[in-house]
Amino acid sequence: MNRAGALRRAARAAAAARPRHAEFATEGAAAGGQIVQQPPSGAPPVEGNGQDQGGPNQLHRRFSTLPWTNPVTLQSINPKILKTEYAVRGEIVTRAQNLQQELIVKPGSLPFEEIVYCNIGNPQALSQPPITFFREVVALCDHPNLLDKSETHALFSSDAILRAFRIIDNIPGRTTGAYSHSQGIKVCRDDIAAGIAARDGYPANPEDIFITDGASPGVHMMMQLLISSEKDGILCPIPQYPLYSASIALHGGTLVPYYLNESSGWGLELNELKQQLQAARSGGTNVRALVVINPGNPTGQVLSEENQREIVQFCKEEGLVLLADEVYQENIYAEGKKFNSFKKVARSMGLEDKDVNIVSFQSVSKGYYGECGRRGGYMEVTGLPKDVKDQLYKVASVNLCSNVSGQILMSLVMNPPKPGDESYEQFAEERDSILSSLARRAKVLTEAMNKLEGVSCNAAEGAMYVFPRLDLPERALKAAGAVGMLADVFYARRLLDATGIVMVPGSGFGQVWHTILGSSYLKANVAIFLLRSHRRSLIFVVALASLLHSCRVRLTYA
């Protein structure tokens, strides 16, 4: 390594000894993406504290003097939007945002000091650091003047500089400030395709890649393409990530549920798929696609290759597009488990483009990189006829292109430093430390959960979530019913109010409501192992235990 590199590293090591971002006084307050709002100077004073997050009641009061003669009212907006639900940022999150404001306005007024957002896989909001090499390259690409300066070698690793040169030299205009090809910059698609080929051992075609602002727009594009009316159905797992239900609702299609089997570790069973498909078809629904999330969200299971083969065969036989959400492909924690892409499995079965349609979604937001705010993602669309792909391209082009530094980041994720590169050692260390910490947290958390009375939890084999089942006492159910809440929402709300921990109730993902011996089971999703440390995870588990306890106590004396 050159001298400048050594200097750079020493300086950074010294800096790292200081607390990270110590100078950002508002970090705690901003952790959930919220900070206090001051009304603009000169703005008329508003009723209330003016700093509310905008709950409907607050706003109603503020505008209450207006006569509502508007052409656009809740009754006259697109009903598909009204019908759409999105629990990851729903009721509980709104409540949490309000509590956060309360903590700022009246510190010490609540039984906890901060809100811990476990509702969403947003690791960098919970202090996970970014991968240095990736950020070096995007910084250089965003400010390519640096590349021409000799001092740059004092600040950046040499392979980051080379990579930035290679990317920027291959972007028309040598700039990240231009709209790119609507499928994404060619050199980025080339790198992504190379990464897929290296991962799978089967070739990938850059022309099949559509780079998108995160994985979500790709999902929307496919739904838009597949759904013409409510007669078109999409098979979705239950529990599922609500992006799918929301996107299907927005596009006016029908969600055809299939249930994952909790007692077999959230297994995906072919019989269940077949039954649901037949039932939907006999009800007149034209089922067009099957969504599979692997590793699972929120369920965390990693599918076996055997299971994947069955699924591919099923899609081929039944003429379904396989929409494979593979955004957690780097997040595997269970011993002996391995991620296999559906495309690889199909190719290993001898199935080619002409045999089966597979769309694979990937993102920069998950894995060890966790670059949620960068909004990078891609979908690899295989098996579609050229003229259909042209239609997809047209839809992509209406939005011009996805954000360019997100595109670059996606290409880096799929083509990271290799052994022998200057950055490799540091890169591998950063990656492994994040992944092993996630694995430890997954383990500690599931074990601790399973020690609690009334809680059982499947092992989180992958992804970023645990999804424990809480067997709530009869009285808790009644208490929830008395306030008109679903029992899991009631529970999540109580947990939030008592501890400041934000979870998503299982009903937001869909769940089977069992009734055995007169009592319902309830599941609450907890994105818990993104928490900062083991200590924090344990605090959470303790909180959960005491809450279950107090819930009973309170109800007993109620």
Partner 1 sequence: MASGKVMDPENLNENVKKTVYAVRGELYLRASELQKEGKKIIFTNVGNPHALGQKPLTFPRQVMALCQAPFLMDDPHVGLMFPPDAIATARKYLAMTGGGVGAYSDSRGLPGVRKEVADFILERDGYPSDPENIFLTDGASKGVAQVLNALIRNDRDGVLVPIPQYPLYSATIQLLGGTLVPYYLTEESNWGMDVKDLQRSVTEARRKGITVRGLVFINPGNPTGQCLTEKNLRELIEFCIKERLVLMADEVYQQNVYQDERPFISARKVLMSMGPRISKELELVSFHTVSKGFLGECGQRGGYFEMTNFHPQTVDELYKVSSIALSPNVTGQIMMGLMVKPPRPGDISYPQYKAESEAISLSLRRRARIMTDGFNACENVVCNFTEGAMYSFPQVMLPNAAIAAAKQAGKAPDVFYCLRLLESTGISTVPGSGFGQKEGTFHVRTTILPSEKDMPGIMESFKRFNADFMSKYSDSKSKL
Question: Which positions from 123 through 152 interact with partner 1, judged by CB under 8 A?
Answer: 123-128, 130, 132, 135-136, 138-140, 142-143, 145-146, 149, 151-152
Burial 295-315 (b: 16+ CB within 10 A, else e): bbbbbbbbbeeebbbbbbbbb
**Which one, 7 or 482, has the nearer CB to partner 1?**
7
SS3 (DSSP) at 325: strand
- Among 247, 331, 415, 499, contact with partner 1 (rule: CB under 8 A): 247
Q: Does 271 bind partner 1 (CB under 8 A)?
A: no
Shortest reach from residue 539's CB to partner 1, in Å: 20
- Candidates 64-72, 412-420, 452-460, 524-532 — which segment interacts with partner 1 by CB under 8 A? 64-72
Please tell me whether residue 41 adopts helix, strand or coil conformation: coil
Binding positions for partner 1, 425-464, rule CB under 8 A = none
For 435, the token pair is 């992944």
Respond yes or no on whether the N-terminal peptide bond of residue 419 is cis (omega within 30° of 0).
no
Q: Which of 400, 483, 516, 558 binds partner 1 (CB under 8 A)?
A: 400
400 vs 516, beta carbon nearer partner 1: 400
383 binds partner 1 (CB under 8 A): yes
The count of other CB atoms within 10 Å of the CB of residue 124 is 16
Q: Is 32 in the site for partner 1 (CB under 8 A)?
A: yes
DSSP 341-406: -HHHHHHHTT--TTT--EEEEEESSSTTT--GGG--EEEEEES--HHHHHHHHHHHHHT----HHH
* CA distances, 317 to each of 235, 276, 350, 356 (Å): 15, 15, 15, 9
How many binding residues for partner 1 (CB under 8 A)? 135
The one among 96, 256, 345, 404 contacting partner 1 by CB under 8 A: 404
Nearest to 405 by CA among 372, 376, 378: 376
Q: Please, is 26 exposed, middle or buried when counting C-beta atoms within 10 Å of its C-beta (0-12, 13-18, 19+)?
A: exposed
Shortest separation between residue 322's beta carbon and partner 1, angstroms: 10
Q: How far apart are CA 430 and CA 136, in angstroms?
A: 14
- To partner 1, the closest distance from the beta carbon of 203 in angstroms equals 19
Q: Which stretch binds partner 1 (CB under 8 A): 275-283, 378-386, 482-490, 521-529?
A: 378-386
Scanning 23-31, 334-342, 434-442, 493-501 for contacts with partner 1 by CB under 8 A, the matching segment is 23-31
The pair of three-digit structure tokens given for residue 140, joined into one six-digit string: 């250089």
Instruction: Check the CA dihedral 229-233-236-238 and report its sign.
Output: positive
Choose the binding region for partner 1 from 26-34, 267-275, 492-500, 528-536 (rule: CB under 8 A).
26-34
- CB-based burial of residue 154 (10 Å sphere; 0-12 exposed, 13-18 middle, 19+ buried)? middle
Least Å distance, CB 476 to partner 1, is 29
Q: Which residue has the tokens 């929409």?
A: 323
Please report how close the Cβ of residue 527 comes to partner 1 at its closest, in angstroms.
Answer: 12
Quick one: 12 or 549, whose CB is closer to partner 1?
12
Q: With binding defined as CB under 8 A, does residue 79 bind partner 1?
A: yes
Q: Site residues for partner 1, window 182-211 (CB under 8 A)? A: 182
Residues 479-538 binding partner 1 (CB under 8 A) are none
Output Rg (C-alpha) for the chain, integer angstroms.
Answer: 25
CB proximity list for 334: less than 8 A, separation 6 or greater:
302, 459, 461, 462
From 278, 397, 433, 450, residue interacting with partner 1 (rule: CB under 8 A): 397
Q: Tell the smallest beta-carbon distance from residue 6 to partner 1 (Å).
A: 13
Closest approach, Cβ 495 to partner 1, in A, equals: 21
